[in-house]
Amino acid sequence: MNPIIENSVQIHDTVVLDTLPINADRPTLTSPAADIPAAADITAASGIDQAIESFIGPIAQAFSNVVFFELSVGGVGIPLIVVWLMAAAVFLTVYLRFQPIRGLKYSVGIIRGRFTRKTDPGQVSSFQALATELSGTVGLGNIAGVAVAITIGGPGAALWIIIFGFFAMTVKMAEATLGVKYRKILPDGTVSGGPMYYLRDGLAEIGRPKLGKFLAGFYAIATVIGVIGAGNLFQANQAAAILVKATGGDSSFLADKLWLIGVVVATLTALVILGGIKKIGLWTSRLTPMMAILYFLSVIVILIMNVGEIPHAFALMFSGAFTPDGLTGGVIGVAIVGIQRALFSNAAGIGSAAMAHAASKTTKPATEGFVAMWEPLIDSVIVCTLTSLAIITTGLYGSSSEDGIGLTSEAFATVAGWFPILLTICVVLFAFSTILAYGYYGQQALGYLTGNSRKADKAYQIFWILAVIVGASMSLESVIAFSDAIFFLMAFPNLLGLYFLSRILRLEVLRLRKRIDAGVMREITPAELQVGMGDHEPTAEQIRAAEAGRRRKRDKLREVRDSLKAKKLERAKREG
């Protein structure tokens, strides 16, 4: 088994806590959760579970081998999907003139809703869209995944996570910008958006309608299937497993009542997702900051206790990134470990940012691009750096027999015996928030395939809620592995579309930068009309004023067109 790609089965914001018993040849991850098994393995696996595994297992293995096909570089196996993601991240960063460096400062005011009106088309604020996407990416991958990367590649892998977290910022910017530009505002004010729409309509705009329709349909089908494993079954399963482990393992009251955990999580999920993106945005905008702050403060306590080791930790990260010791492939090997973790963790290139930000209230697509850049910054730079420092400063990365979340848990335990409880709370909240975000992404993809059928949408919501109970109660490892492979397959049509639409994307981003630099884009006045970060619903008076303003603009535009038409006719008469 190649240790360089051992964590390639990580799904979006999580990493598999137990080896997937599909095939010994498949690189998998040994239990990183301090012997936390899959939830359904805590009790005897059901006959149904085993039957599903025996049927789906060979199919999942074969499909995974295709999606995670490896190229050999210097004796190191590099999954083709990682190369595809890396290439897009570097290209877009250079092509858009390094916006993560030059444009990040402009995004703060946009996130705070100062440049958009409550009456602008959309359903959520920029901050809520940011929180929704972060709720699906910040999670166990930043906790267990970073620990695995350090275990395999040493402290130097952490630096490569940070470096490619920076490049991933531009990919998210591209997805969010195009997601808003090609979104559809329905008559009732709801929004349909995502890669499906910019693949179909964007490619039609540049003269490739057939290719666009094919890629859009392919992407939508992959999304509907892919999010079931990555964003539902696995999340519920691991949340149940961690809760059982934290409450006593086999002797826990919950050990033989996994269905009960599923029912509780499913009930909470139903209360949110049945309310649509507005309710999801409301919950994630509160839940995401809360769990991020809890994790941040917890790690800060660890760092304060080991403050003298912080400079040495950074030195190890820098030296290990370029002079690795004992890892197959040398610098290339440790780089692949870190790059793979960064790209798989923040999901840049998968297209989820386009769906989250398409619902934002704005009339300028690129504004959401500047907001979306913060997602890999928070996910792969800030949170992953905190996790890395917690592990390295405590000295556990070289002495502990644990890996993954077990290693992170040991770092927390250096503060106090009860301190890992905070980690458990964070992990469960991360899993729940991911279920909320991915449920919305699945709905958006299904809406594209069914013409936004309300019946199909409601049926999918019910299915999503029930799947939480199934995921908590059964392991379904092969089903999850199959949907994981399809999930990462989403990157192929999405990034292909970004390449085709790169000129349009560049025009949108640089045009907004010109407006900002020239001082043309100003804060909305009065302040009561700004979207802000909280209540963004316009009053009846604001709606009437906005409609009147739009009528005036239409009338003015009509007058200009009529005037130009009259001048053209007059000129034609003189020349005739």
Sign of CA dihedral 479, 490, 217, 65: negative
Provide CB contacts within 8 A for 421, sequence distance 6+.
246
Domain 3-545 class, CATH top level = mainly alpha
Report the pLDDT value the prediction gives residue 47, as an integer from 0 to 100. 63
Express each pLDDT in 323-347 by its tens digit.
766 455 567 778 888 887 787 778 8
What three-state secondary structure class fits 72? strand
> What is the separation, in whole angstroms, between the first and last Cα of the chain?
82
Report the pLDDT value the prediction gives residue 432, as an integer from 0 to 100. 92
d(CA 300, CA 5) in angstroms, rounded, equals 30
pTM of the full structure: 0.86
Report the pLDDT value the prediction gives residue 440, as an integer from 0 to 100. 94
Report the pLDDT value the prediction gives residue 282, as an integer from 0 to 100. 84
Q: Could you state, in order of their start, the residue ranges of all structural domains in the chain?
A: 3-545
Express each pLDDT in 31-42 by its tens digit.
333 334 555 554
Report the pLDDT value the prediction gives residue 402, as an integer from 0 to 100. 73
Report the pLDDT value the prediction gives residue 29, as an integer from 0 to 100. 32
Length reported for the chain: 576
10-residue mean pLDDT profile of the chain (576 residues): values are 36 38 31 43 55 76 85 77 91 94 85 89 92 85 81 88 93 97 92 96 96 97 90 86 83 84 93 87 87 91 94 92 65 79 84 95 94 93 92 85 79 90 89 92 95 93 93 76 83 96 96 87 85 80 84 88 86 78
The kind and range of the H/E element at 77 are strand 76-79
